[in-house]
Amino acid sequence: MTTIPVIDLMGSLRSGNSTAPRLTWYGPDSERVELSGRVLDNWVAKTSNLLQDELDAEPGMRLRLALPAHWKAMVWALAGWQLGLETVLDGGPADFMATDNPGGAMDQYDAVIAVALPALAMRWPGDLPAGCLDYAAEVRSHGDVFMPHTDPDPSSPALTHQGRAVPHGELITGFACPHTEGVRLHVPADSGLESALANALGAWQQGGSVVMTHPAVALTDKLLADERIHGS
């Protein structure tokens, strides 16, 4: 089986100290979500299975993430990369779009997936355009283990970064930010999704973890101490 760095990374997150926090999210209205390596891998596997089994996604297809920096956006990016998709962050053409604001331009995509951002959302709050898939309502029914139907190509693009197409095989070396071993890294959501992904990949690659905060959340001394944020 051909592997790409994200597949190896997901394997490391679900093995070893898999119950340790890997992604912690602070959102509005005192929302706090903590995902261990095992739970993060579970969300990513379910999302990859949704893409592959329900939407017929295959390696080389393009997934637009019209989402803010958020823990669910991180799950979507990892799921797409695990499947061998190219993640589109700049609004370019794509086969699929995951968005927290579904509406017009539905006909530009093979499928549009509505992603409700509140952690406890069990379905989209309100009506959805015809043909739009409700992520919260659908994802939990998919399998906890992802087995690709087709091996991803390490030389195919994972995303475009600074005007350069970064292949899947170079996603860690050519996109992820370098960080120290075991880092507990603060990632502000207002730095944008691309920056959040680059920093999180670099932290996880070093066995570290990430604390992401919504722009409305104050980074207090208490939060820093409670989350043991350290390193770089």
DSSP code per residue over 23-71 = EEEEETTTEEEEEEHHHHHHHHHHHHHIIIIIH---TT-EEEEE--SSH
Here the tokens at position 30 are 């005192």
Alpha-carbon distance of 227 to 186, in angstroms, equals: 9
The CA-based angle 48-50-53, given to 5 degrees, is 100
Architecture category of domain 5-226 in CATH: 3-Layer(aba) Sandwich (3.40)
The Cβ of residue 84 has, within 10 Å, a number of other Cβ atoms equal to 26
Instruction: Supply the pLDDT for residue 2.
Output: 60
Mean pLDDT by 10 residues, the chain (232 residues): 85 89 95 97 98 97 97 98 96 94 85 94 92 95 95 96 95 96 96 98 96 96 93 62
Alpha-carbon distance of 172 to 78, in angstroms, equals: 12
| 200 neighbors 173 (Cβ within 8 angstroms) | no
Rounded to the nearest 5°, which phi and psi values hold at 96? Answer: -130, 155
Classify residue 30 by burial, with Cβ atoms within 10 Å: 0-12, 13-18, 19+.
exposed
Kindly report the length of the chain: 232
Under DSSP, the state recorded for 178 is P
Write the CA distances from 201 to 5, 56, 81, integer angstroms. Answer: 10, 26, 12
Instruction: Supply the pLDDT for residue 16.
Output: 77
Instruction: Supply the pLDDT for residue 232.
Output: 59
- Does an H or E element contain 22, and which? strand 21-27
